[in-house]
Copies of this chain bind each other. A is one copy, B any other.
Amino acid sequence: MPAKRPPIPLSRERIIEAALHIADGQGLRRLTMRRLGDALQVEAMAIYHHIPGGKEALLDALAEHVTTVTVEDGAGGSWQDLARAWARACRAALLAHPGVLALAMTRPPRGRAAAALREHIDRLGDAGLPDPAGALRTIRAYVMGSVAIEVQRSGWNGEAAESADEAVAAFERGLDAVIAGLAAGLPPGAGGRT
């Protein structure tokens, strides 16, 4: 009896969710088509009907999923507040799936992720920040690097792993410095509320 119909039909969403679960739990190295199929109660080949392009496309999708960050429209904040909120959201999104961090840092933002990025740049510009693209680049660099360092430490048995509180504190301290440094580079008087 070859064709047993699975209870829930497969879908791109379910596949991505399961893939994230495996990658987070056992590492990217162990994320294989067959294992993914097992997790979904399906044969590996079934995945190809929902993710054309095979594993490479799947990894792209994971990266996009984890780097698509939006902050709700807290209208009326300074660009500093906006940038801070975005940085925290971005950190949270990346930290939620440490297994695919390497993908997120390696693949350029595309599709929804790139769109969200552009939209945030516009919002920073609207909030009065000159050169919002350059500034966001700096902030994004800091956030991505911070998360990388945090993940390194947590998967680390040498010396003492830091607590979550310590990690947040370190992140916030650095974020303060970065934003203060960006503000200091501005012509005096630039960047008030909208």
Contact = CB atoms under 8 A, between A and B. Distances in A.
Interface string A142-185: 11111011011101101000000000001001101111111011
Interface stretch (A7-15, A31-39, A99-107, A120-128): A99-107
Interface residues of A, number: 38
A110 B110 CA distance: 33
A41 interface: no
A26 interface: no
B137 A170 contact: yes
A134 interface: yes
A45 interface: no
Given A105-B105, A155-B108, A180-B180, A149 B137 contact: yes
Given A101-B106, A144-B148, A177 B178 contact: yes
Given A105-B148, A106-B148, 20 more contacts: A107-B152, A108-B152, A108-B156, A108-B158, A110-B158, A134-B173, A138-B174, A138-B178, A140-B149, A141-B141, A141-B142, A141-B146, A142-B178, A143-B145, A144-B144, A176-B181, A177-B182, A177-B184, A177-B185, A178-B178
Interface of A: 101-102, 105-110, 134, 137-138, 140-146, 148-149, 151-153, 155-156, 158, 170, 173-174, 176-182, 184-185
